[in-house]
RNA sequence: GGCCCCAUGGUCUAGCGGUUAGGACGACGCCCUCUCACGGCGUAAUCUCGGGUUCGAUUCCCGAUGGGGUCACCA
């Protein structure tokens, strides 16, 4: 039970992927998992999966299940995790609450952390003022000087509080990033980070550091977005008297505009890639070329080959733009390399499985007179991105400007994303509500959604169809249709008052 | 805005003081061909800028510029 290990012998490599189950399985999770996996296997180490579900309002078991399924789909199997156990469990942070409580007490007793009773309103006001003055934005330390006795009294009186890390106020914090070397931060620039929330759950910073230490993590391989909070983690390790892990901050996957990859601008769910017909090994290979190279003139490699060749020395730090076109080309290569029988197997494990077909039959059974009509009627379930050419004029309802239509499609996509209930009745309620609130006739909106998601005017019932397509495919098509509409010229004679001299257009 | 990170064609990258700056995707052209795809051949396209260091900088150093990340009781 003694977590303190002798620092004498080099510890065996142990790394982890620590996703938060608050949404669809993210391509960035697979990306970081890949590098953790490769490093672990290259060094005969362990790769563990830990679920960081300390955000009680956003975490869901469905999301957790989806993440596990997706990581297995790409072929990154963990050695320890919530589903298979292991020597350092539990592997779900929500099941480790007492551990964090204990560690917070340690910090409090050591004076490395303190209780803070400030209201959200006060914090907001402080930040607002700091921002206005263009200065460092962070907690102003009001409760930091509170005598322990007074804090105890307020707690006893039932006052809600959080626990903050008491950052050193002078000097600098230096740590080594494996890819960048020494990185320095001035302590005065670092916020007194909240470690434990009012609900008693830890924030990422505390839970992550405690678990990484307790689970024996030797290398923290994570995304670059964490680089600027690493000093807080350093202070925590030191407050506990623990050895520091080695940090490796991988570059961030980017949208075409170079911003951090986001679902607004890219399909980001691993489920999308599966449903759109990408082969997991091709996706993995592609991710392996993002910020890493196996050799100068080589970009195709298997997971095993990546493991064999793996070294952080071949990481490049410019954030790579995730390019669906290039991914598709690589996927095509993989597909061509399969023999016919294997392609059949792949199709069967894709939408041509018994379950996949069974899901579609109820949608069309009454609409077909012969079996042969099944395929044309369901064709859009087996397609990825659609071609809207044949229906492009219908995509713009009479009296509507391209901008309002494309904005509407995008907005509905957002609404779907925020809507937990992806069932037919749930979607219908959502759509009716959306229509009412945004000035659409339901008929008009439903047809628009139908066209956008199927590129056809006649389809099985809309909402059942969307369910069949899945959330990510639906959102992707709404986005593509929105772009299609945006490219359309505004109709000349519709509403704008003094008609400009009409230009002869196609 | 403060702090931090980064910088080779449109994109992913190779390069680790001396190269005709290599490969891939994409684009374009030609060939193959009943169509398409594949395949083959070829073309255009890159070292952000300015200072140093050096006999010599894409490469090392500094600065500027540009891009990104982060500044939550989210991770």
On average, the pLDDT of chain A sits at 93
pTM of the model: 0.93
Can you give the pLDDT at residue A9? 62
Task: Specify the pairing of strand A46-49 against strand A113-116.
Answer: unpaired
Q: Which nucleotide is nearest to A139 (CA to C1')?
A: B71
Q: Which nucleotides of B are covered by protein (CB under 7 A)?
A: 1-8, 10-16, 22-26, 38-39, 67-75
Average pLDDT over residues A125-142: 87
Q: Is the pLDDT of residue A501 over 80?
A: no
Q: Is A59 helix (H, G, I), strand (E, B) or coil?
A: coil
Could you report the predicted ipTM of this complex, rounded to two decimals? 0.97
Q: Which nucleotide is nearest to A286 (CA to C1')?
A: B12
Would you give the DSSP letter of residue A95?
G
Show the tokens assigned to A442.
């339901």
- Which residue bears the tokens 């930040």? A127
Q: Is A50 helix (H, G, I), strand (E, B) or coil?
A: coil
CA–CA dist A274, A74 (Å, integer): 9
Q: Which nucleotide is nearest to A224 (CA to C1')?
A: B69
Which one of the listed residues A42, A263, A393, A398 is annotated catalytic?
A263
Q: Is A263 a catalytic residue?
A: yes
Show the tokens assigned to A117.
């009773």
Rg (CA), chain A: 27
Span CA (A318) to C1' (B18), Å: 27
Span CA (A224) to C1' (B70), Å: 10
Average pLDDT over residues A399-413: 94
Span CA (A142) to C1' (B68), Å: 33
Q: Is the pLDDT of residue A493 over 60?
A: no
Average pLDDT over residues A109-118: 96
Query: Which residue's CA is nearest to the C1' of nucleotide B3?
Result: A189
Q: Residues near A40 by Cβ (< 8 Å), separated by ≥ 6? A: A13, A14, A15, A46, A47, A79
Q: Which nucleotide is nearest to A18 (CA to C1')?
A: B75
Span CA (A321) to C1' (B22), Å: 21
Confidence of residue A226 (pLDDT cuts 50, 70, 90): very high
Q: Which nucleotide is nearest to A194 (CA to C1')?
A: B73
Query: Which residue's CA is nearest to the C1' of nucleotide B38?
Result: A336
Chain centroid, CA A363 distance in Å: 32
Task: Specify the pairing of strand A181-186 against strand A172-177.
Answer: antiparallel
Span CA (A300) to C1' (B28), Å: 26
Tell me the angle at which helices A402-418 and A442-454 cross, rounded to the nearest 10 degrees.
80
Confidence of residue A10 (pLDDT cuts 50, 70, 90): confident
Can you give the pLDDT at residue A492? 56
Average pLDDT over residues A312-325: 97
Span CA (A234) to C1' (B42), Å: 56
CA–CA dist A244, A233 (Å, integer): 9
CA–CA dist A153, A237 (Å, integer): 29
């Amino acid at each position: 039970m003694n977590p303190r290990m002798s620092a004498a012998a080099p510890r065996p490599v142990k790394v982890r992927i620590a996703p938060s189950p608050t949404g669809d399985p993210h391509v960035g999770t697979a990306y970081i998992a890949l590098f953790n996996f490769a490093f672990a296997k290259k060094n005969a180490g362990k790769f563990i999966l830990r679920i960081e579900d300390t955000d009680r309002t956003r975490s869901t078991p469905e999301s957790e299940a989806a993440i596990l399924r997706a990581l297995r789909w790409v072929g990154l199997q963990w050695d320890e995790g919530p589903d298979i156990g292991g020597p350092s469990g539990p592997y779900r942070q929500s099941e480790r609450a007492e551990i964090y409580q204990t560690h917070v007490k340690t910090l409090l007793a050591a004076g490395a952390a303190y209780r803070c009773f400030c209201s959200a309103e006060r914090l907001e006001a402080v930040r607002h003022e700091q921002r206005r003055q263009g200065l460092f934005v962070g907690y102003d330390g009001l409760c930091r000087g509170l005598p322990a006795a007074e804090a105890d009294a307020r707690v006893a009186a039932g006052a809600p509080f959080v626990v903050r890390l008491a950052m050193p106020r002078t000097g600098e914090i230096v740590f080594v990033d494996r890819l960048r070397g020494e990185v320095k931060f001035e302590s005065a620039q670092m916020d007194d980070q909240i470690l434990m929330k009012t609900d008693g759950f830890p924030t990422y910073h505390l839970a992550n550091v405690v678990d990484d230490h307790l689970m024996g993590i030797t290398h923290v391989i994570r995304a670059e977005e964490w680089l600027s909070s690493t000093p807080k983690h350093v202070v925590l390790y030191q407050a506990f008297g623990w050895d520091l892990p080695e940090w490796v901050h991988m570059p961030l996957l980017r949208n075409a505009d170079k911003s951090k990859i986001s679902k607004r601008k890219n399909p980001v769910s691993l489920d999308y890639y599966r449903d759109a017909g990408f082969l997991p090994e091709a996706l993995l290979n592609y991710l392996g070329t993002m910020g890493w190279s196996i050799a100068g003139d080589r970009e195709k490699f298997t997971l095993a080959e990546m493991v064999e060749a793996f070294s952080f020395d071949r990481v490049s730090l410019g954030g790579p733009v995730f390019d669906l076109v290039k991914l598709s080309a690589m996927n095509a290569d993989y597909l061509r390399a399969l023999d016919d029988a294997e392609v059949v197997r792949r199709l069967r494990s894709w939408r041509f499985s018994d379950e996949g077909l069974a899901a579609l039959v109820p949608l069309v059974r009454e609409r077909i007179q012969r079996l042969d009509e099944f395929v044309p009627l369901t064709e859009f379930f087996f397609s990825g991105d659609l071609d809207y050419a044949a229906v492009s004029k219908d995509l713009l309802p009479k009296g509507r400007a391209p901008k309002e239509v494309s904005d509407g499609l995008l907005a509905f996509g957002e609404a779907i994303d925020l809507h937990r209930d992806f069932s037919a009745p749930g979607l219908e309620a959502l759509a009716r509500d959306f229509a009412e609130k945004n000035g659409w006739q339901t008929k008009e909106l439903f047809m628009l959604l139908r066209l956008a998601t199927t590129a056809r005017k006649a389809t099985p019932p809309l909402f059942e169809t969307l369910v069949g397509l899945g959330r990510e495919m639906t959102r992707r098509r709404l986005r593509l249709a929105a772009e299609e509409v945006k490219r359309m010229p505004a109709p000349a004679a519709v509403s704008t008052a003094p008609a400009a001299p009409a230009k002869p257009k196609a």
